[in-house]
Amino acid sequence: MPDIVCKGISLGYGGKVIAEDISFTVEEGDYLCIVGENGAGKSTLVKTLLGLESPIKGEVLVDSKISKNSIGYLPQQTELQRDFPATVWEIVLSGCGKSLFFGKKQKAIATENMKKLGVDNLKDKCYRELSGGQQQRVLLARALCAAKRLLLLDEPAAGLDPVATNEMYHLVMDLNKQEDITVVMVSHDIKAAVRHAKHILHLGDGEMFFGTAHEYSHSKVGIRFLNSDKCGRCGE
C-alpha cells in the first residue's frame, strides 16, 4: 500500500470550503511538493494528513505501518518561537517524546539527527541566537526524531536567504534519497519544487494538478506558474 492515499477530499473551516476534490497518492520513498497560491489550503492539507484537522468530505488513508506518532512534522515557525529561551539540545530532544526524562536511546537518536543536519556543534546554543537557516535545521532535526518514514514539511525555506534556502532543499533531498524517507513538502518556490520533487500537487481555483514534476512543467497550470515555456527538468 502507498504511504498516503487521499480520495476526493474537500478542505475548509467554519463551513467555508477552501479546496475541493483533492485526490493523490504518496508512494513509499516519494517526494511530493504541494504548491499553489496563498490561501489555497496547502497548510490545511498538511494538517489534514497529520490528522490535526478532518476533511469536510472524502477520506485520507495513511499506511497502518506509519502510526500517527511516527510522522515528522515541520510546522511553519511562529512569532513567539523567535525569542524562545531553549537550547538546541532541548528542542531536538523534545521530538523524541513527551516524557520528563529521556533515556540513552532517545539521546542517541537526538545526537544522530543533529549530526545528520550539521547542527551538533550548536548543541548548547540558544535557539533565539541562531540564524534562520540554523533554526530550520534544528526544527528539521526535531522532526526527524519523531519520524520513522515520513516527513511533512510546511514551507521549510520560508524566510531564508537564497544560500540557506538552497541548503535546505539539498538537505531534504538527501534525506529522501539516502535515508529513504518519504517527503511531503509545502512550498511556494515552484521552480525549486520542480527541480527537486518527484511529484507535484498544485492546489488552486479549478486548477488542480497532480502528476510527476516533469508532467507539471509541461502542463497548462505548470507553464503559467513557472512563468516560462521551458521545462525545469528536461530543459525543453
Where on the chain is the footprint of other proteins (CB under 8 A)?
47, 50, 52, 68-69, 71, 73, 75, 78, 80-81, 84-87, 90-91, 94-95, 97-100, 124-126, 129, 142-143, 146, 152
Shortest spacing between CB 73 and other proteins, in angstroms: 4
Shortest spacing between CB 220 and other proteins, in angstroms: 34
Element (H or E) spanning 57, and its range? strand 57-62
Contact at 8 Å (CB) between 200 and 210? yes
Shortest spacing between CB 170 and other proteins, in angstroms: 23
In this structure, what C-alpha cell is assigned to residue 83? 525569542
Apex 224 CA angle, 223 and 229, nearest 5? 35
Residue number with CB closer to other proteins (19 or 143): 143
User: Which of 28, 41, 1 shows the shortest CA–CA distance to 208?
Assistant: 41
Instruction: Give the list of residues 6+ apart from residue 91 with CB closer than 8 angstroms, or none.
Output: 127, 138, 139, 142
DSSP string, 115-169: HHTT-GGGTTSBGGGS-HHHHHHHHHHHHHHH-SSEEEEE-TTTT--HHHHHHHH
Say how many C-beta atoms besides its own lie within 10 A of residue 210's C-beta: 18
Residue number with CB closer to other proteins (21 or 129): 129
Shortest spacing between CB 62 and other proteins, in angstroms: 13
Residue number with CB closer to other proteins (23 or 67): 67
Shortest spacing between CB 89 and other proteins, in angstroms: 8
Residue number with CB closer to other proteins (89 or 209): 89
Q: Is 42 exposed, middle or buried (0-12, 13-18, 19+ CB in 10 A)?
A: buried
Residue number with CB closer to other proteins (40 or 153): 153
Between CA 156 and CA 139 the distance in angstroms is 9
In this structure, what C-alpha cell is assigned to residue 158? 520560508
Shortest spacing between CB 51 and other proteins, in angstroms: 8
Residue 126: strand pairing partners: 87
Shortest spacing between CB 94 and other proteins, in angstroms: 5
Residue number with CB closer to other proteins (3 or 20): 3
Residue number with CB closer to other proteins (175 or 226): 175
